[in-house]
Chains A and B, each alone.
Chain A
């Protein structure tokens, strides 16, 4: 079992207090800059000493503040791929990989290095130094090198990791992987578990889809980047129809039934920007829709983010926006099933 309880205050103002386990497979750490993600990886690898807590990797005790146990980094068997790849610039890629396999006899070392070069498609870059190869090869090289040291836990502080590379890593390494990422799509596609971090604290954890669909708090919603977070009161509850009536300042909508709440309770609700519907130029008020005034438009690669008065954000595809952009009147429709009561 791999688990960690880490408490640490840094001079930079981060106050870390987390407790989690890392099962086999990919566990993604997600949070804003300064949340403590890199500090967690450094504490596990032994590059930063926690003030309190306990770290177990594959049932081996690596750190225990109370018992004053702290295993040095070179004996922790924690593979670490930093944001900056860390490939040694004075060695070729092949030499970098051979460095990691230094404990193996020469023939075995040569075989393992050749296997790694093939698995990670690095044959063409083997004789080159890191300065002479591109970022994707450098990342694959750093990962291949980390795996050659036969780690029991793999720590990836690499924001450029894609799904294909993670698949290759999983084929080569069945153990636990802790991945720092700012790509929620990657979390859904490749991670078994998602941990949300904010200001040094775990805000929520669980299967990625579950966390994204059911944020449990305002903090979780903000960390996930859900722009629509509103406070309202429960005007009516209908458990038979699995619905409730939610009153905001200026409008009311139907939302899902909120168990554990009563009429009159003040609650927070969230909705992803892409789960709201925009209607343009209609005179009749739609069901569960709110007439709004368009404040601002931000164009992205494939979508347009429309900001309406009242802090309502809606993402629509570029083509849809092009067809509606000249409208003078707007309605935003709330799809009841997509509204989440926190």
Chain B
């Protein structure tokens, strides 16, 4: 849960920021940045995990929940960027233009206009990401326990809690999407 929660939160923060920059600014390297953010999505989790393992090989901290959370955040980043970008692009330009014409600088436009209109689909994506990350981490733990009695011991508490997290996340995502403000 900790890995999933921290990973999803980090992916949410980074994904929203990156999506906001890509949606509102045109700059050299923008397309390259957008493509780079998608790379973790095309890599199977095993390959992504292997990259992290190589990066951590020989380091004192090794594989801890913190490094697992970072890996989880990287894995969830593409989905968060996509969801946030779609949410921002779905808001008509007229609202941002109206806010700016009323004297609102960029941060005020984001907090008072864009975020309230976009947060529901973004949070829905974040909750699904959390459930997915928690489940993938649980599978990883079970596989790493290499079967047998140890896996059976871990499966007891892990599987029900991961299942409940997935269901709760789905329910939250559905409710958020149903209550989306009509634009």
Asked if A pairs with B, the answer is yes
* Chain B positions 62 through 101: 1 when the CB is less than 8 Å from some CB of chain A, otherwise 0: 0000000000000000000000000000001111011111
A100 beta carbon closer than 8 Å to chain B: yes
- B-contacting 9-mer, from A72-80, A189-197, A267-275, A280-288: A72-80
Nearest neighbor of A131 in chain B, beta-carbon distance: B182
Total residue contacts A-B, CB cutoff 8 A: 70
How many A residues have CB within 8 A of the partner chain? 30
* Bound CA–CA A87/B113 (angstroms): 10
> Known: A74-B103, A146-B102, A149-B103. Is A99-B112 also a contact (CB below 8 A)?
yes
Q: Is the CB of A82 within 8 A of B103?
A: no
Q: Which of A90, A102, A151 has the most CB of B within 10 A?
A: A90
Q: Which one of A80, A82, A87, A89 contacts B182 once the chains associate, using CB atoms below 8 Å? A: A89
Q: Which of A77, A89, A103, A148 has the most CB of B within 10 A?
A: A89
Q: Is the CB of B100 within 8 A of A88?
A: no
With a cutoff of 8 Å between Cβ atoms, the chain B residues found around residue A77 in the complex are 103
Q: Is the CB of B116 within 8 A of A78?
A: no
* Bound CA–CA A271/B103 (angstroms): 47
A150 to chain B, nearest CB (A): 9
B48 beta carbon closer than 8 Å to chain A: no
With a cutoff of 8 Å between Cβ atoms, the chain A residues found around residue B104 in the complex are 74, 99, 102
Nearest neighbor of A155 in chain B, beta-carbon distance: B101
Q: Is the CB of A86 within 8 A of B112?
A: no
B160 beta carbon closer than 8 Å to chain A: no
Q: Is the CB of B113 within 8 A of A86?
A: no
A35 beta carbon closer than 8 Å to chain B: no
Q: Is the CB of B101 within 8 A of A146?
A: yes
> Known: A74-B105, A99-B112, A131-B182. Is A86-B95 also a contact (CB below 8 A)?
yes
> Known: A74-B105, A99-B102, A149-B103. Is A88-B95 also a contact (CB below 8 A)?
yes
B117 beta carbon closer than 8 Å to chain A: yes
Q: Is the CB of A84 within 8 A of B94?
A: yes
Q: Which of B97, B102, B181 has the most CB of A within 10 A?
A: B102
* Chain A positions 129 through 171: 1 when the CB is less than 8 Å from some CB of chain B, otherwise 0: 0010000000000100110110100000000000000000000
With a cutoff of 8 Å between Cβ atoms, the chain A residues found around residue B183 in the complex are 89
Q: Is the CB of A88 within 8 A of B94?
A: no
A224 to chain B, nearest CB (A): 30
Q: Is the CB of A102 within 8 A of B103?
A: yes
Q: Is the CB of A82 within 8 A of B99?
A: no
* Bound CA–CA A82/B181 (angstroms): 21
User: 9 smallest A-B Cβ distances: which pairs?
Assistant: A86-B98, A80-B101, A73-B100, A86-B94, A149-B102, A100-B102, A74-B100, A90-B116, A90-B181
- B interface, CB within 8 angstroms of A: 92-95, 97-106, 108, 112-113, 116-117, 181-183
26 contacts between A and B (CB under 8 A): A47-B93, A72-B100, A72-B105, A74-B103, A74-B105, A74-B106, A75-B103, A76-B101, A79-B101, A82-B94, A82-B98, A84-B94, A86-B95, A86-B98, A88-B98, A88-B117, A89-B117, A90-B116, A90-B181, A99-B102, A99-B112, A102-B104, A131-B182, A145-B102, A146-B101, A149-B102
- A interface, CB within 8 angstroms of B: 45-47, 72-80, 82, 84, 86-90, 99-100, 102-103, 131, 142, 145-146, 148-149, 151
